[in-house]
Amino acid sequence: MAKQDIPKRSDIPKAYDAASYEDGIYAAWEASGLFNPDNLPGDRPEAFSIVLPPPNVTGTLHMGHAVMLAIEDIMVRFARMRGKKALWIPGTDHAAIATSTKVENILFKTEGKTRHDVGREDFLRRVEKFAQDSHDTIVDQCRKMGASLDWSREAYTLDAKRNHAVNVAFKKMYDDGLIYRGHRVINWDPVGQTTISDIEIVYKEVEATLYTFRYSRDFPIAISTTRPETKVGDTAVAVHPDDERYAAFIGKTFENIPFAGTTISIKVVADREVDPAFGTGALGVTPAHSLIDADIAARHGLAMRQVIGEDGRMTADAGSLVAGQTTREARETVAAWLRAKGLVEGEEKTTQNLATAERSGGTVEPIPMLQWFVAASKEFVRDGKTVSLKSLTQDAVRSGSVKIIPERFEKGYFQWADNMRDWCVSRQLWFGHRIPAWYRGDEIVVSEIAPEGDGWTQDPDTLDTWFSAGMWTFTTLGWPEKTADLETYHPTTILETGYDILTFWVVRMVTMTTYLLGQVPFKTVYLHGLVRDEQGRKMSKSLDNIINPLDMIAKYGADATRLSLVIGSTPGNDSKLSEEKVAGYRNFTNKLWNISRFVLSSVDDTLPSPSKGEGQGEVYGGPTPLTLADRWILSRLDAVVSSVTRKLEANELSSAGEELRDFTWNDFADWYLEIAKIEKGKDAILMDVLETLTRLWHPFMPFVTEQIWSSFKGTTLMVEAWPTVENRRDESAEREFAVVQDAVTTIRNIRATQRIEPAKKVAATVGNAAILAHADVIKWLARLEDLSLSDKPGIQLVLGDMDMVAERARLEKERDDLSAYVAATDAKLANVEFTSKAPEKVVAGMRAKRDEAAAKLAAIISQL
């Protein structure tokens, strides 16, 4: 390396200031085009692909996104450095209901208008403007995080290409009979004025009154309910078939019972779903306003009577007493009527799980409506086998084609997949993929474009946002066209996302992809946990405990932010984040920076570059043979390369990072660099370790490593090769060096506890205090490696002084310890009773370890 290539120490700032480098580095990466795998150098037969779980265009990125970006970027950068064709596709999600609700709220707050006041066209314009702004913010934040996303392939769940794909998929499913239009009981959100799916419901525990009553004085069976207002829609009473109390009434119909302002007819049916032990053991069946009742009604062919409307009020059909009232008002009205008529047999306070809409907060009402559904269990033939969307979804994971990390979440997956029901996909929202169905009178045509002829109108509804999200791995790669990208990158290598979205998204991706492509969407699912505050609470606006990733990046740098999110958190587990933690990793970033500063400023400019793969003694070319410390650090380096590689392959990111940190700080900086200050001729090794470390750290800390790299190489670190294991493992050196470390530590302890004042004085006289701090290191290395220290007389004095105290103390202490230890081990071994399992091996192992420890102690004593 030529001298002019090495920056002078004075040229490199003492502290690493992330803010002054990061944006420039990212811009250079982006300009290089190397985020696009098509531009990567070399022959890359193996593909690696991740699609970014598209953030919702509802605002800005939070810590959850930052974790996702950090983890995925590590995976992608690692793959890229390992010579894979590494693709990471960015994108955003229109998040129909979430975005729509958000804009509606803003519209109402700022202008006092609803979406119906401004109309479909105007409303959509506003949503798109909002979505665009949000998109721009999100993209900028991804860049700040250092995410090596291929922006040339960026996608949006609602752009033209994805819309086309959605239409093609919808039509195919319709043609295959897997999408149908039907009049069924769905979850209706009266506030959002739309249907919602089961998983968009959140249950809240509320107090309720459980009324037990009879429809009329002469009705033979009493029933219980917390919702008397729905009872005007009852058409049956269901009892268990084995319930002797009611056996006589099964099959009978009680016609024209006057009830709360209307007239009802009740048939008594027997159904095994009824729990005879609950309440009176009889269930009033309201087919139109309860999903379970609708099922019972379907089994028994019962009439359906809708008494709650889309506005959340009682319909005219509900009868004169309650028509027009809200359900809450009607509940009191009916209860009052029952009491007045003396029909109530019991009132009991109870808690009830109230279904509310996740986004709008409205109370969800089951209501029968004409909607579009995806048939979960309908069977069809695929490759000669009878399957269903449900069975395809189950089989992908059951067969091992999709692996979930951590494994325990497979239970959650099956819990959902096994109970998969028909999926209502139509939404009465304006923002989203419009359903490609056209109507003219009784005719229905499913088509992307309007059918021939006049008078066709398109379905006004849009699709559940998860319909298009479920197609994300392949629509981003060009489907339905048969593209080269699709061929190369699908199935994607890994899906990395939060565990909270497993049922929403992951399951649906498997369903859509296995059906449409006959492939799994990804081979592995890696689920990260939630980022909580330092007290373990969820971050939320109301608690005012949100840590904004951009603030952390501005203050401590993206590298530090990434490390704080990745190290110390394991898949599937929530992690806690505090500003102190980020600051801690900023310190580490700075440490690495200063390590490089030291190495670069101390290497000899005449040194040849290290050439690897030759005999150990000559590899580093210098006149001095490898010392113990050299052999030790190289051996450790090899071990770290090997271990970190294995861990990253296994997606053990946290553990890999911790090991690297430990080696970097505790081995390289604290020991080897200190030794290098005294022993010269280590330039090649210093450079070698620095270079390897920089490569190893790059996926975790892309910015600072790229910056360090640029100070001694003219290339782009991002596309450099991942380090490989050299043949430098040297276990005896590691053992021997451990002895030195032990010994040194002991002397330090003696010095610390006994206060060797003379040593301090001499050191002060010599004026070389920095070296004194490590005099013990030098001393022991000098002993073991027979180095001359004659050019540092001051140190010799210090060492001589220390020796007298240290050696005596150590000799006395260790000798006792050794004999006690050997005796204890022998006693232990004598007591071992051999079992039939693995006796010889076990005892041999213990004996070997004992001998090893004894040898270690003996070695120390012989040195003294």
Partner RNA sequence: GGGCGCAUAGCUCAGUUGGUUAGAGCGUCACAUUGACAUUGUGAAGGUCGGAAGUUCGAAUCUUCCUGCGCCCACCA
Residues 320-349 that bind RNA (CB under 7 A): none
Task: Single out the segment in contact with RNA by CB under 7 A; choices: 12-20, 301-309, 331-339, 787-795.
Answer: 12-20
- Torsion-angle region of residue 450: left (phi > 0), alpha (psi -120 to 50) or beta? beta
Task: Single out the segment in contact with RNA by CB under 7 A; choices: 113-121, 385-393, 473-481, 834-842.
Answer: 834-842
Residues 559-578 that bind RNA (CB under 7 A): 568, 570, 573-576
Backbone angles phi, psi at 206, to 5 degrees: -130, 160
Smallest separation (angstroms) from RNA to the CB of 666: 6
828: tokens are 């232990």
Q: Answer yes or no whether residue 853 interacts with RNA by CB under 7 A.
A: yes
User: 824 CB contacts (<8 Å, ≥6 apart)?
Assistant: none
Closest-CA residue to 259 (of 278, 237, 281, 243) = 237
143 or 305: whose CB is closer to RNA?
Answer: 305
302 or 437: whose CB is closer to RNA?
Answer: 302
Q: Answer yes or no whether residue 832 interacts with RNA by CB under 7 A.
A: yes
Residues 220-239 that bind RNA (CB under 7 A): 223-227
166 or 560: whose CB is closer to RNA?
Answer: 560
Residues 702-761 that bind RNA (CB under 7 A): 744-745, 748-749, 752, 760
Residues 184-203 that bind RNA (CB under 7 A): 198-199, 203
* Contact pick of 124, 191, 250, 291 for RNA (by CB under 7 A): 291
Give CA separation, 633 vs 619, 663, 665, 682, in Å. 14, 9, 12, 11
Residues 526-565 that bind RNA (CB under 7 A): 534, 536
Task: Single out the segment in contact with RNA by CB under 7 A; choices: 466-474, 629-637, 806-814, 843-851.
Answer: 843-851
Q: Answer yes or no whether residue 418 interacts with RNA by CB under 7 A.
A: no
Task: Single out the segment in contact with RNA by CB under 7 A; choices: 157-165, 288-296, 310-318, 617-625.
Answer: 288-296
118 or 859: whose CB is closer to RNA?
Answer: 859
Query: What is the DSSP code string of 57-89?
Result: TTS---HHHHHHHHHHHHHHHHHHHTT-EEEEE
Q: Answer yes or no whether residue 500 interacts with RNA by CB under 7 A.
A: yes
* Contact pick of 43, 244, 833, 840 for RNA (by CB under 7 A): 833
Q: Answer yes or no whether residue 597 interacts with RNA by CB under 7 A.
A: yes
Q: Answer yes or no whether residue 591 interacts with RNA by CB under 7 A.
A: yes
Task: Single out the segment in contact with RNA by CB under 7 A; choices: 176-184, 413-421, 446-454, 606-614.
Answer: 413-421
Residues 619-658 that bind RNA (CB under 7 A): 655, 658
Q: Answer yes or no whether residue 444 interacts with RNA by CB under 7 A.
A: no
Q: Answer yes or no whether residue 601 interacts with RNA by CB under 7 A.
A: yes
- Quick count: other Cβ atoms within 10 Å of Cβ 201? 16
Q: Answer yes or no whether residue 299 interacts with RNA by CB under 7 A.
A: no
Smallest separation (angstroms) from RNA to the CB of 575: 6
CA distance 639 to 812: 36
265 or 594: whose CB is closer to RNA?
Answer: 594
Q: Answer yes or no whether residue 835 interacts with RNA by CB under 7 A.
A: yes
46 or 662: whose CB is closer to RNA?
Answer: 662
Smallest separation (angstroms) from RNA to the CB of 580: 5
CA distance 791 to 802: 19
Q: Answer yes or no whether residue 764 interacts with RNA by CB under 7 A.
A: yes
Closest-CA residue to 806 (of 765, 764, 860) = 860
Residues 364-403 that bind RNA (CB under 7 A): none
Catalogue the E-assigned strands of 425-574.
426-427, 437-440, 443-446, 457-458, 462-463, 492-498, 522-528, 531-532
594: tokens are 């200063």
Q: Answer yes or no whether residue 206 interacts with RNA by CB under 7 A.
A: no
151 or 821: whose CB is closer to RNA?
Answer: 821
276 or 610: whose CB is closer to RNA?
Answer: 276
Q: Answer yes or no whether residue 210 interacts with RNA by CB under 7 A.
A: yes
| Contact criterion met (CB below 8 Å) for 582 and 560 | yes
Closest-CA residue to 303 (of 292, 314, 287, 318) = 287
| Contact criterion met (CB below 8 Å) for 362 and 201 | no
CA distance 526 to 283: 44
Q: Are strands 91-92 and 155-156 parallel, antiparallel or unpaired?
A: parallel
CA distance 607 to 742: 33
Q: Give, to the nearest 10 degrees, the angle between helix 839-863 and helix 775-785.
A: 100
Smallest separation (angstroms) from RNA to the CB of 13: 9
Residues 771-790 that bind RNA (CB under 7 A): 773
* Contact pick of 36, 447, 503, 863 for RNA (by CB under 7 A): 503
Task: Single out the segment in contact with RNA by CB under 7 A; choices: 311-319, 350-358, 395-403, 455-463.
Answer: 350-358
Smallest separation (angstroms) from RNA to the CB of 484: 39
CA distance 502 to 466: 12
Q: How many residues lie near RNA (CB under 7 A)?
A: 97
Backbone angles phi, psi at 46, to 5 degrees: -95, 130
CA distance 830 to 821: 14
Q: Are strands 403-405 and 522-528 parallel, antiparallel or unpaired?
A: parallel
Q: Would you say the C-alpha torsion 318, 321, 322, 323 has a positive or negative sign?
A: positive
* Residue 129, Cβ density class (10 Å: 0-12 exposed, 13-18 middle, ≥19 buried): exposed
CA distance 524 to 83: 20
Q: Answer yes or no whether residue 7 interacts with RNA by CB under 7 A.
A: no
Residues 256-275 that bind RNA (CB under 7 A): 273-275
370 or 838: whose CB is closer to RNA?
Answer: 838
86 or 510: whose CB is closer to RNA?
Answer: 510
Q: Would you say the C-alpha torsion 353, 354, 355, 357 has a positive or negative sign?
A: negative
545 or 655: whose CB is closer to RNA?
Answer: 655
Sheet hosting strand 457-458, strand order edge to edge: 443-446, 437-440, 457-458
Closest-CA residue to 231 (of 277, 256, 254, 263) = 263
Smallest separation (angstroms) from RNA to the CB of 3: 18
Smallest separation (angstroms) from RNA to the CB of 543: 13
Smallest separation (angstroms) from RNA to the CB of 634: 18
Task: Single out the segment in contact with RNA by CB under 7 A; choices: 83-91, 164-172, 439-447, 767-775.
Answer: 767-775
571 or 699: whose CB is closer to RNA?
Answer: 571
Residues 674-713 that bind RNA (CB under 7 A): 674, 677
* Contact pick of 261, 279, 621, 794 for RNA (by CB under 7 A): 279
| Contact criterion met (CB below 8 Å) for 184 and 371 | yes
Q: Answer yes or no whether residue 290 interacts with RNA by CB under 7 A.
A: yes
Q: Answer yes or no whether residue 458 interacts with RNA by CB under 7 A.
A: no
- Quote the distance between the C-alpha of residue 483 and its chain's center: 29
Bridge partners of residue 482, in order along the sequence: none
CA distance 434 to 186: 19
* Contact pick of 278, 347, 457, 815 for RNA (by CB under 7 A): 278
